[in-house]
């Protein structure tokens, strides 16, 4: 997604998948040898929990955890797909608090513990479609965003929800130095009715664990499965209810390429590539890479199409 890339920056978005997979196979081989030494770190992760099957979950094959935690976009930690896994480990996620402000009756700064106290964590196995043309199937652990928003009592004048990610250059190498790929903080936004939709969740964990790896947006990130992945903002520290459409990072950088809505839509191409098909991470590589058709609203049309009734989805990309 990077649009202005100085020559010294690794071309992460155009790294052929085959290169990534070859690296991965190599790593898998090494992992076999190193299996014994990785046991302590596995044990350190939060214990897997059983979750009731949610009707919104897909039963498609889940992407390997190793892929979902090593092939990431999180530009605060660098623009290469491997950078977040390499650099996000030291991020301090406790204590953590989220300020909720703007057009609400009960503005509050809530610690993560405050946020989690009244909610029931559940598993949601969702497709994730990145605007770059790849996809995964990820078993998130989280709760409906609507639960948190209702708690602060949005006013009638609130029409949009704006989100911001942490700014902490000391722990986020992508926020330091001469070239910074994005203006910080990373910002995203939803229309209030989109934010209240039961498919929109705040995730705190994945793969049966109640905590997220830092590279996936710990300790709290948005997941909006019918929109391109960049809408699913990570490591959230601020949520504001506002009256007008809030500025969002990728739209601000390249308005003609990334719209506010960014609903997954195979019929509306990105100006520089087709959105008709996608590469499911883990399904073949290089010449043998399979592409599968991209589904309208990423396959969630039955649930969300009515949010956009009467809207021109080409104009509102
Ligand atoms: N703060 C922040 N959130 C972000 C991003 C980012 O660079 N910074 N990248 C986005 C993009 S482009 C995608 S595809 C998803 C990737 O989520 P994953 O790494 O957990 O698969 O995170 C999104 N959220
Ligand atoms: Mo993305």
287 burial class (0-12, 13-18, 19+ CB within 10 angstroms)? exposed
Beta-bridge mates of residue 138: 126
pLDDT of residue 118: 97
Whose Cα sits closest to atom 24 in ligand 1? 233
Contact 54, 121 (CB under 8 A): no
Cα 2 to Cα 272: distance, rounded to the nearest angstrom: 12
CA-to-CA dists, residue 42 to 11, 46, 208, 257, angstroms = 32, 9, 13, 40
Do β-strands 97-102 and 236-242 pair in parallel, antiparallel, or remain unpaired?
parallel
Cβ neighbours for 310, distance < 8 A, ≥ 6 positions apart:
none
The sign of the torsion formed by the CA atoms of 192, 276, 138, 1 equals negative
Instruction: Kindly state whether residue 6 falls inside one of the protein's structural domains.
Output: no
Q: Is the CB of 207 under 6 A from ligand 1?
A: no
**79, 175, 229: which to mutate for ligand 1, most atoms within 8 A of CB?**
229
Indicate the pTM of the whole model.
0.87
Total domain count for the chain? 1
How much is the pLDDT for 51? 81
CB of 214 shorter than 6 A to ligand 1: no
At 224, which CATH number?
3.90.420.10
Residue 88 near residue 214, CB atoms below 8 Å: yes
Inside any domain, residue 45: yes
**Residue 21, pLDDT score:** 33
**What residue owns the CA closest to ligand 1's atom 11?**
230
262 lies in some domain = yes
The bridge status of strand 292-293 relative to strand 277-280 is: antiparallel
Q: Record the tokens describing residue 222, joined without a space.
A: 């948005």
Residues of the chain falling short of pLDDT 50: 5-44
Does any domain span residue 62? Answer: yes
On whether residue 1 sits in a domain, the answer given is: no
| Residue 100 belongs to a domain | yes
Domain membership of residue 157 (yes or no) is yes
Q: Rounded to the nearest whole angstrom, what is the distance from the C-alpha of residue 32 to the centroid of ligand 2?
A: 30
Give the position of tokens 């190193």: 34
Range of the domain at 292: 11-308
Q: Could you give the CA distance from residue 199 to residue 69 in angstroms, rounded to a whole number?
A: 22
Per-residue pLDDT at 66? 98
Task: Count the neighbouring beta carbons within 10 Å of the beta carbon of residue 126.
Answer: 26
pLDDT of residue 46: 53
Q: How far is the CA of 228 from the centre of ligand 2 (A)?
A: 6
Q: Is 214 helix (H, G, I), strand (E, B) or coil?
A: helix
């Amino acid at each position: 997604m990077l649009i202005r890339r100085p020559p010294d920056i690794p071309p992460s978005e155009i790294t052929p998948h085959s290169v990534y997979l070859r690296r991965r196979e190599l790593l898998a081989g090494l992992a076999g040898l190193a299996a014994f030494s990785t046991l302590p770190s596995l044990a350190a992760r939060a214990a897997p929990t059983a979750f009731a099957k949610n009707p919104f979950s897909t039963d498609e094959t889940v992407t390997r955890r190793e892929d979902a935690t090593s092939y990431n976009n999180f530009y605060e930690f660098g623009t290469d797909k491997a950078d977040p896994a390499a650099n996000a480990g030291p991020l301090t996620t406790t204590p953590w608090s989220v300020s909720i402000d703007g057009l609400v009756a009960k503005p509050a700064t809530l610690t993560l513990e405050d946020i989690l106290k009244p909610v029931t964590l559940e598993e949601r196995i969702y497709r994730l479609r990145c605007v770059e043309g790849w996809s995964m199937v990820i078993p998130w652990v989280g709760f409906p965003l609507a639960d948190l928003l209702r708690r602060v009592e949005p006013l009638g004048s609130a029409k949009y929800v704006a989100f911001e990610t942490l700014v902490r250059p000391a722990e986020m190498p992508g926020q330091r130095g001469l070239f910074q790929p994005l203006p910080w903080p990373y910002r995203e936004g939803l229309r209030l009715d989109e934010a209240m939709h039961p498919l929109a969740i705040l995730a705190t964990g994945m793969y049966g664990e109640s905590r997220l790896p830092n590279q996936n947006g710990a300790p709290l990130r948005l997941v909006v499965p019918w929109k391109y992945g960049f809408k699913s903002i990570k490591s959230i520290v601020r949520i504001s209810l506002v009256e007008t459409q809030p500025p969002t990072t990728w739209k601000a950088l390249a308005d003609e390429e990334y719209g506010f809505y960014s609903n997954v839509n195979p019929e509306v191409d990105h100006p520089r590539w087709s959105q008709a098909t996608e590469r499911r991470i883990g399904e073949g590589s290089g010449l043998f890479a399979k592409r599968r058709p991209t589904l309208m609203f990423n396959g969630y049309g039955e649930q969300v199409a009515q949010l956009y009734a009467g809207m021109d989805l080409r104009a509102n990309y």
